[in-house]
């Protein structure tokens, strides 16, 4: 009987070791940076694999009204105490956000600032979706808001635009790529479970990014900026604090 050969295995091990470097290819300004950090390279691989393999614009599951569940509010539950924006937020809150404006600027043809009423007058979308927190818990809630796409289109997205950055009253800064920004379920929500968005859940307006983990759905929106290049937001951004920027996981 012929013995199975052991030699191809040795040749295989040696060749694998020498070709591992090929995987560490460079990246452009339209990719999240890795800073040469191996974990960020893994994050980039996951992001690229999702964008390559998953059909774009698939809708996240929408649930029934009866599925709506209890939901904890975590992170910032009231930005009034924030050193920089807290006093402004408190003033806006006292006036029930009548003076609140959302500037939409950056790589757009016509920079605009929306009032809450203007956003509410635009065609709305209501969706009952699952909030998936990075911590491991989940909750189902009904969200009502205006598709981010409509807001961006009314400001006129430039053809060079690649990312949308969210700035919040609690100092939170984050961004998503244009594919998620134009997703039909990515909305700027002002309503939750048939009521005005509670303060603890991000009043007066929060993002809902249903194809990513909960932390990408920025609460307490203050400003939206469209950019042509990736913005890591420096020391305040996710990446430099050791978190994955892409959280479609």
Partner 1 sequence: MASFTALALSGFFILMVHPRLYWGHVGNDLTPALLTLPISNNYRPEELQSRMVFTEVPGAPVTAERNFHIFNQNGWARSLHFLAAWILVGIGAIYVALGVSSGHVKRDLLPSGRELSPRSLLQDLRNHFSPRVGSAGVGPPYGLLQKLAYTSVMFVVLPLMVATGLTMSPAVTAAYPILLDVFGGYQTARTIHFFGFTVLVLFLIVHVAMVIATGFSRQLRAMTWGSEQ
- 165 binding partner 1? (CB under 8 A): no
Q: Does 73 help bind partner 1 (rule: CB under 8 A)?
A: yes
Alpha carbon distance 242, 33 (integer Å):
12
**Measured between alpha carbons, how far is 210 from 113 in angstroms, rounded to an integer?**
25
Q: Compute the least distance from the CB of residue 203 to partner 1, in Å.
A: 12
Interface characters, 141-160, with partner 1 (x: CB under 8 A): x-------------------
Q: How far apart are CA 165 and CA 245, in angstroms?
A: 12
| Segment contacting partner 1 by CB under 8 A, of 9-17, 112-120, 148-156, 224-232 | 9-17
Judge whether 226 and 105 are in contact, CB under 8 Å. yes
CB-based contact 243:236 (threshold 8 Å): no
Least CB distance to partner 1 at residue 71 (A): 5
Which residue bears the tokens 């194809």? 211
- Binding residue for partner 1, selected from 133, 231, 232, 237, defined by CB under 8 A: 133
DSSP letter (8 states) at residue 157: B
d(CA 222, CA 121): 19
Rule CB under 8 A: is residue 40 a binding residue for partner 1? yes
| 191-210 residues near partner 1, rule: CB under 8 A | 192-195, 198, 200-201, 210
Is 211 one of the binding residues for partner 1 (CB under 8 A)? Answer: yes
Cα Rg of the chain (Å, integer): 21
Residue 143 in contact with residue 189, Cβ under 8 Å?
Answer: yes
Binding site for partner 1 (CB under 8 A): 4, 6-7, 9-10, 13, 38-43, 45-46, 50, 54-55, 58-61, 63, 67-74, 77, 130, 132-141, 192-195, 198, 200-201, 210-213, 241-244, 248-249
């Amino acid at each position: 009987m012929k013995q199975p050969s052991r030699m191809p295995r040795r040749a295989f091990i040696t060749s694998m070791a020498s070709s591992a470097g090929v995987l560490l290819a460079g990246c452009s300004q339209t990719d999240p940076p890795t800073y040469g950090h191996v974990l960020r390279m893994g994050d980039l691989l996951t992001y690229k694999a999702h964008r390559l393999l998953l059909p774009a614009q698939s809708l996240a599951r929408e649930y029934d009204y009866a599925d709506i569940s209890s939901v904890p509010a975590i992170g910032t539950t009231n930005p009034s105490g924030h050193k920089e924006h807290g006093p402004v937020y408190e003033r806006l809150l006292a006036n029930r956000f009548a003076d609140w404006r959302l500037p939409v600027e950056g790589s757009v043809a016509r920079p605009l600032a929306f009032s809450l009423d203007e956003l509410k007058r635009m065609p709305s979308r209501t969706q009952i979706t699952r909030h998936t927190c990075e911590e491991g818990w989940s909750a189902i809630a009904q969200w009502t808001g205006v598709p981010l796409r409509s807001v961006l289109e009314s400001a006129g997205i430039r053809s060079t635009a690649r990312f949308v950055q969210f700035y919040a009253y609690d100092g939170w800064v984050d961004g998503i790529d244009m594919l998620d920004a134009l997703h039909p379920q990515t909305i700027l929500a002002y309503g939750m479970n048939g009521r005005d968005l509670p303060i603890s859940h991000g009043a007066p307006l929060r993002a809902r990014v249903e194809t990513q983990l909960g932390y990408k759905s920025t609460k307490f929106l203050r400003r939206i900026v469209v950019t042509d290049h990736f913005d890591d937001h420096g020391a305040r951004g996710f990446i430099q604090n050791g978190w994955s920027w892409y959280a479609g996981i």
